[in-house]
Structure 1
Amino acid sequence: MINGERKTIAEVHGERIEEMYRDGESMARIAHLLNISFASVRNTLVARSVDIARPGGTSSHTVDASEVLQAYASGTSMTILAEKFAVPYSVIRRTLLQNGVELREKSPKRQFNETEAALCIEMYASGSSVAAIARAVNAGNVVVRQFLIDRGAYVPKSKTRAEVCTRCKSAPVYIKGKCKPCLSEYHREMHLLRKYGIDIAEYKRRLDSQGGACAICRRTDTGKTNAPFQVDHCHETGRIRGLLCFHCNKGLGYFGDNLEGVMKVVRYLQQHES
C-alpha cells in the first residue's frame, strides 16, 4: 500500500513538486499546499533524483523589507506582520535583524489591581481552579498561575487534594474534592437539570408539598434502598406530574403510563372482588 500510494503521488504531483522545490519552496510548504505528507514530498523528490540538500537553510519566503521596517516601527508586532505577509514568524524576525533593527522586548506581563489580586487569592483558597480564576479576572491561565506563585499561594496540583469536602466542609474527601454523600447529591443535581430542567431546590420544594411522601401511595419510604423519590413526568409533553416511590413509578410504566391502562386494572380488580 505504501509503495502504491507513493507511486500515485509521484504520478499525480511529481512534476509540480519538483517545479515548486526548484523555485525555492520548502518541502514542508509544498506538503501543506498540496495537502500531502512531508514524507511523500521528500520521497517524490528523491525518486526524481532531485538534490534535497539546501546548505544554509535557504528559504523561498520573501517580504518587502521597507514595509516590514515601517510597520514594525509603528508598533506592529512580529506575529501580526507574519500573518499580514503570510510568512513564518522567523522570516519577519530575520528581516528585522538583517536591517539592524533592535527588537522590542516582549510586552510586560499582566498586572492585577488590588481588587483582582484579592479575588485571585480568595478564589484559589476556596478551591477554585486556575482556569476558573483566569475567567473571573479576564486573564490567561499562565498569568494567574505565575501571580499565585509569586504570592506564595500556589501549590502544585499533586499536593492540592483537600482533606475535607469542599461542599459540606466537614466530611473527608472521597473523590473530586467531595465526600460520597455530596458527590452523590451533585450527580443527582446534574441529572435533574439535564433530564427534567429542575434544580435540587425545586425537587425539595415539590417533595415538601407532598408531605415528604409518594404522591400515589403516600408512603414515606422510596421503596428502594438509598434511592430518592423518582420524578414522574409525561413522556409526551415533558411536564412533571409528581414524585413517586420506586414501586408506583414502575407500576405506571407497566400499565402504559396512561389512564386507560390503569382503568383496565381497576375494572379487572372490580370484576374479581369477593
Structure 2
Amino acid sequence: MTEPLSLATVLVLLPPSETKAAGGEGPPLDLDALSTPELTPTRHRLIEALTDLADDVPSSLEALGLSERQAEEVQRNAELRESPTAPALRRYTGVLYDALDIGSLPERERARAERRLAVVSALFGLVRGTDAIPAYRLSASGNLPRVGTLRGVWRPVLEPVLAEVDDFVVDLRSGAYAALAKVPGAVEVRVLSEDSTGKRKVVSHHNKSHKGKLARALGRAPEEPRTVEDVLTVAKEADLRVEREADRQLCVIVPA
C-alpha cells in the first residue's frame, strides 16, 4: 500500500499525458493498492464503462475523439485490467514528463519526487508517483456513455479529497484537468513568454516543458518547499525565472 498523501509537506499536482508508455513490469492493476482509496468506487465505475465501450471500436473512437489510425488505443482500454502496470511517473510520457525526466534522478532525489508529485487522471482521479497503473486512453474532456462528463463524475468525489490535504499544494495542471477538481489555497502556475520589449503573452504549445522543469526542481529539492517564497527560491536555484503575480499565483517567464 502506498503512503498517504498527508505525509508529503508539498504536493505538486501534474496533468497526465494523452500518450502513455507501453508495457510495464508490474502485475495487473490492483485498485485496492492505489493511494487515495476513497476514489476506488469511482475508479471501478469508470474502468467498467471504458472497457465495456471498448467492445464497440467505432463508438470508442467517437467517444474518445480518436481517428481510425488510433484503434490500438481502444485495444489498450479493452485490456487495461489484464495488462502490465508501471509507476505513474513512468507511465505518462510527452513534453512535460520528458522535462521532468524522473528516471535520470539519483535514487534519493527520485524518492523525494515520487513522494511529492501526483497526477490528476481522468480515469483514476489522483495517483501518486509510485502508483502502478496500466496504459489507457481517456482524457478529461471525455464523455462516456451511461456515465457522462468526467468533470461531472470527478468533482463531487475528488474535490472533498483534495480539500482535506494538509500539504502546501502547487498546481501545475492544465485547464481541463484543473476543472476536474478545485483545490482550495493551491498555488497556480502559468507560463508567459517575454519579448525584447518586455511584452508578455501566455505560452500554450511549450508551457508543458517549463512546467515539467519546475516539477523536477520541486521534486528533487533537498528541503521541503512550504511557502510561495520557497518555490521561488527552488526555481531560482534551478535557473528558472519565476515571478509572483498574486498571493497564490506564479508565472514562469521564458524568452519569446
TM-score surpassing 0.5? Answer: no
Normalising by the residue count of structure 2, what TM-score does the alignment of the two structures yield? 0.19
State which structure, 1 or 2, has the greater radius of gyration over its C-alpha atoms.
Answer: 1
Counting helix residues as a fraction of each chain, which structure ranks higher?
1
Normalising by the residue count of structure 1, what TM-score does the alignment of the two structures yield? 0.18
Counting strand residues as a fraction of each chain, which structure ranks higher?
2
